[in-house]
Amino acid sequence: MIVQALAFYVFAIVAVISGIMVVTSRNPVHSVLFLILAFFNAAGLFVLMGAEFLAMILVIVYVGAVAVLFLFVVMMLDINFVRMREGFIRYMPVGALIGLVLLVELIAVATGLVPIGGVKGPVAESIAAQSGVTNTEMLGRLIYTKYIYLFQLAGMVLFVAMIGAIVLTLRQREGVKKQDIAKQIARRREDGVELKKVTPGEGA
């Protein structure tokens, strides 16, 4: 129990510090790196709770795809971050109000003023005691049976968002050469090869 408590405090403290550094770092690349560190520590907290499936999903999906994509976008795009920070002071009161509301909610949950459900103990132990299966198997059963329509709806929402992102970023520019596969395949030998009779000594 002492080792688990020590690991919890280490993961939690590093995750909180990383989250603070994400929003306070001046360099956006450093912010993304701190975000990846926060994801890893959150995955460690999930492992301590017995939710190993969520921990692996967090590492594989968010660290392996989303955070790396953020890093590539920040490093490859020429973004004027000085111009983006110009309206920071104007929106600070709204951001401070939202942060205060979230802080009050976290304090209410941490102090027990708001009940957070009747599950006690680690997630894996509670599920194993109820049904004799692991939390990964139970999660799969719930997603693909009881919540299958909501799961498919979430997939459709992500699919529409992906198409929207492609449409918004697709630009038609004049004078850009594009590859035409059908035209290349239909091209004849006579269209690309021309025989020239060269007289010796006169050059081509």
User: Angle of helix 2-24 relative to helix 28-49, nearest 10 degrees?
Assistant: 160
Token pair recorded at residue 43: 């995955």
At 121-164, the pLDDT tens digits run 444 455 555 556 777 788 888 888 888 999 899 999 989 988 88
Q: Backbone dihedral region of 173: left (phi > 0), alpha (psi from -120 to 50 degrees) or beta?
A: beta
Which pLDDT score, from 0 to 100, does residue 177 have? 76
Q: What is the pTM of this model?
A: 0.55
CB 53 within 8 A of CB 136: yes
At 81-109, the pLDDT tens digits run 666 666 667 777 888 888 888 888 778 77
CB 45 within 8 A of CB 12: yes
Token pair recorded at residue 125: 């132990």
